[in-house]
Amino acid sequence: MSPRRTPRSFSLALWAVWAAALPALDVGAQTIEVNGSTLTVKELAGVGRLPANLRDRHGETFGSISGLVADPSRWQRRADGSYTGTFYAAPDRGFNLAGTIDYAPRLNRLDFRFTPAPANAGGLPQDQVRLVLTNSTRLFETLDGTVRPLSGLDPVPGGVAAGGARVVPGWPELPQAFNGKLSLDAEGIVILSDGSRLVSDEYGPSIYRFSRAGRLIGALPVADSVRPLRNGVTDYSSNNPATGQPAPVPANPTYGRSNNQGFEGLSLTPDGRTLFVALQSAARQDGASTSASRRDHTRLYTYDVSDPDAIVLTGEYVVQLPKFQQGSSTLVAAQSEILALSPTQLLILPRDSNGFLVGTQQSLLRRVDLVDIAAATNVLGLPVEANIAPGGVLDPSITPALYTPWLDINDNAQLARFGLVNGVVDGLVNLSEKWEGLALLPALDPDHPDDHFLFVANDNDFATTDGFQAGAAYDAGWDNPTTFLVWRVGVRLGPVSDARPAAGAR
């Protein structure tokens, strides 16, 4: 659905009345203080959209935002108060309503101009962020001198013996599709000091390293605690086979990451030395196999990336995801993205599975929260690492990360200023389900040195009535534009946040 804009003549008084009548949820804290750091929510400062049927330079439907990173070197404030910058975005495995397809994973470059909306104004259009897709780089490997793209296809069930994984000397096992291509369901992206790109993957879960040109040049070590096991072997199928391909038996792994719950969040600290990667929700052995309400103990990993050619896994921590009540069910809000602030603090984006035309349509939990690992137990290499939460109950020897709720994306009073809403209200545009991109950039305001802009972007699942991928046209039955929300926030980090946790036992 194309965005419906409120008229510019929409008065502040009318906006206030309308906002008061919107579906209300507990907004929560607007200012939090954690270990000397202070984070403050100020207001929603802008909205931007890209059309659902946008195509990239390869003639394929644009892949939206599953992972997002800003290039800080290109961020600048202009004399008129606007800003210009560049994002790099990772789409996931392609349009897959009826099974996965041979979509070539890629990294997209978006150049943009951002003009913050007037403070406290209402009746605003959704055009403060003007984005342009300027490049799209397909990811590939070189085998025996032949260039071969990676693929969004589900890996073959059965692991190495069945052709569902490849062993490369010096690298971890990598998932493989039936056509011999490496499988990649991209969910996060960072840029290392040498310009190479790391991309996190749900299938492995894996972390791939690519050159600027998109060539595969490495893969990071991954803890055994998240490697999926079926029938006693590593099996990377996510139970989303292509048409005519076999499904795995059993459907879910018995150990390791759950289907489609791999490395959903990836982020690099501002100093470029520490990499964070997070599992979307708890591993099978940590409660996910017990019930949907017990998959809240997820795992967060740290790597030392000071030397891009000698990256070391240094830490493994427990993050307790928030729960919410939906009808008579207690559910877990799986995380969709992380954003590192320092070696011990990061933002995290938990959400439910509701939104425009999805689920209840009104989201019950969709936030950006703060995680602090300064006092958390590093379980890497400890006996308890294999199973941190038997039956979904945290092992008492483990101190989890400190978790603090912060910014409510579903704040209807702020959304209504731009003609948006969480829920179904005639005349307003309901937020879509999946929000998976985070980027934080300074406001460069000398009068407010702690002010930043937090960009939050959706994954539109390639949903369009005019799509084309992997050589075929498709119609998803609806149009879901790529959308950016921009919040003005205050971020002041304390000295405790700069202290690096001790390295793990490995």
Instruction: Report whether pLDDT(471) > 80.
Output: yes
> In a 10 Å sphere around its CB, with 0-12 CB exposed, 13-18 middle and 19+ buried, how is residue 81 labelled?
exposed
Instruction: Report whether pLDDT(24) > 60.
Output: no
Instruction: Report whether pLDDT(399) > 50.
Output: yes
Q: Count CB atoms within 10 A of the CB of residue 32.
A: 17
CA 174/CA 156 separation, integer angstroms = 12
> In a 10 Å sphere around its CB, with 0-12 CB exposed, 13-18 middle and 19+ buried, how is residue 426 labelled?
exposed
Report the length, in residues, of the chain: 506
Strand partners for 490: 40, 451
CA 83/CA 112 separation, integer angstroms = 8
Of the candidate ranges 352-356, 384-388, 408-412, 502-506, the one whose mean pLDDT is the lowest: 502-506
Percent of the chain with pLDDT over 70: 92
3-class secondary structure, 11: coil
What Cα–Cα distance (Å) separates residue 308 from each residue in 200, 210, 220, 259, 461? 16, 11, 10, 30, 32
DSSP assigned state of 17: H
420-425 mean pLDDT: 97
Phi–psi pair at 40, nearest 5 degrees:
-130, 135
User: Amino acid identity, residue 447?
Assistant: D
C-beta of residue 350 within 8 angstroms of C-beta of residue 371 = no
CA 1 to chain centre: 23
78-106 mean pLDDT: 96
What pLDDT, on the 0 to 100 scale, is given for residue 20?
A: 52
Mean of pLDDT over the chain: 93
pTM of the model as a whole: 0.94
C-beta of residue 145 within 8 angstroms of C-beta of residue 113 = no
Instruction: Report whether pLDDT(506) > 50.
Output: no
DSSP assigned state of 99: B
Q: In the chain, what are the domain boundaries? A: 12-498
Binned at pLDDT 50, 70 and 90, residue 6 comes out as very low
User: Amino acid identity, residue 305?
Assistant: V
pLDDT in tens, 237-296: 999 999 999 999 999 999 999 999 999 999 999 999 999 999 999 999 999 998 889 999
CA 245/CA 231 separation, integer angstroms = 19
What is the bridge-based pairing of β-strands 429-430 and 420-421? parallel
Binned at pLDDT 50, 70 and 90, residue 97 comes out as confident
Instruction: Report whether pLDDT(5) > 90.
Output: no
